[in-house]
A and B are shown apart, each in its own frame.
Chain A
């Protein structure tokens, strides 16, 4: 393959990975922020159930974070273990 095609492959991969990471983390951060917002409001409103809310809050945050982790995994695979790099002999 010509060097221009390899360069184009590298460019497109880098741009797509950058965009994917940005979108994935922004979405996860916004949604987690909304969950924490509502949790804090209700913990202040009813201090007696604050401990239960805190426990559930951490678990829910980890579950929401996991979608951002999926995006990160795909980006890491594209960067470091790209299955199409073999076609270029890389």
Chain B
């Protein structure tokens, strides 16, 4: 198989709809994360927390610290959404390194969906602060002449976030495939390590950028 193996393949068909493996592994992550959350909820103890609860609280506190470090204040209403994003993207990127699984984020459709959801969420959080009409009219701030530039910046931010995540993951996959076809024995292992580091780093960068855009849409310094 050539380089085409790095891109998503159709694995099953529901009725008339072909399902790519990126969608299938997204369902796998969905089931895993939902089960983990339900287990943590059932075992919640305020006084003497167990290991599972401590791990999840660590992640949530990490995201809250990230918000505080990035914009200097806390946004409690955005923490669930951002925690979900960072956990999902980190799991997606690292999943590709386990032998039988592939990353869903090596599909441009997954990363485009994630960045479109980020765009919608920035507008949503801005609308919770200023109302739907205020958020829609914010395109004309500071001057009405800036409206095309504001629209272009919204579009380019979304596109760049999608392409950044997709490019990092697919580059790692293609280089891994190429190395594997040349020297299968031990040489692809450093590439796996590098892919793990860049996968986690890209999850962090995606979340930090979403925080910055949400804070920008909410106009927090007014």
Partners in one complex: yes
Residue ID in chain A nearest B207 by CB atoms:
A59
- Whether B208 is near chain A, meaning CB under 8 Å from some CB there, is yes
Which B residues, 166 to 193, have Cβ-Cβ distances below 8 Å to chain A? 166-168, 170-171, 174
Point out the residues of chain A lying under 8 angstroms from B160, CB to CB.
Answer: 66
Given contacts A62-B202, A66-B160, contact A52 B69 (CB under 8 A): yes
Q: List chain B residues, Cβ under 8 A from A65.
A: 168
Residues of B contacting A80 with CB < 8 Å?
3
Look across to chain A and name the residue whose beta carbon is closest to the beta carbon of B175: A72
Which residues does chain A contribute within 8 Å of B204, judged by CB atoms? 58-59, 62
- CB pair A66–B164 under 8 Å, yes or no, is yes
Partner of A73, one of B3, B167, B201, B202: B167
Tell me the complex Cα distance, A72–B202, Å: 16
B interface SS class? helix
Tell me the complex Cα distance, A63–B157, Å.
Answer: 12
Check A59–B205 contact: CB distance below 8 A. yes
**Which residues in window 33-90 of A have CB below 8 A to B?**
52, 55, 58-59, 62-63, 65-66, 69-70, 72-73, 76, 80
Contact with A along B38-60 (1 / 0, CB 8 A): 00000000000000000000000
Give the distance in Å from the alpha carbon of A76 to the alpha carbon of B172 in the complex: 12
CA of A69 to CA of B175, assembled, Å: 13
Tell me the complex Cα distance, A15–B163, Å. 24
In the bound complex, residues from chain A placing their C-beta under 8 Å from that of B170 are 73, 76
Contact status A72-B208, CB under 8 Å: no
| Structural contact, B205 and A70, CB atoms closer than 8 A | no
Complex-state Cα separation, A65 to B201, whole angstroms: 11
Which A residue's beta carbon lies closest to that of B171? A72
Which residues of A are found within 8 Å of B69, using beta-carbon distances?
52, 55
Kindly list chain A residues whose C-beta atoms are within 8 Å of the C-beta of B174: 76
Contact, CB under 8 Å: A69 / B163: yes
**Complex formed: what's the CA distance from A58 to B200 in Å?**
11
* Interface residues as binary, A16-48 with B (CB distance below 8 Å gives 1, 0 otherwise): 000000000000000000000000000000000
A68, closest chain B residue (CB) = B167
Q: How near does chain B come to A22, taking the closest CB pair, in angstroms? A: 16
**A63 and B3 in contact, given A52-B69, A72-B171 (Cβ under 8 angstroms):** no
Show 27 residue pairs from A and B whose CB-CB distance is below 8 angstroms, ordered by the A residue: A52-B69, A58-B204, A59-B204, A59-B205, A62-B164, A62-B202, A62-B204, A62-B205, A63-B205, A65-B168, A66-B163, A66-B164, A66-B167, A69-B164, A69-B167, A69-B168, A69-B171, A70-B163, A70-B167, A72-B167, A72-B171, A73-B163, A73-B166, A73-B170, A76-B170, A76-B171, A76-B174
Q: What are the nearest 5 A-B pairs in CB distance?
A: A69-B167, A66-B164, A62-B205, A73-B167, A59-B208
Apart from A58-B201, A72-B167, what 16 extra A-B contacts exist at CB < 8 Å?
Answer: A52-B69, A59-B205, A62-B164, A62-B205, A65-B168, A66-B167, A66-B168, A69-B163, A70-B167, A72-B171, A73-B163, A73-B166, A73-B167, A76-B170, A76-B171, A76-B174
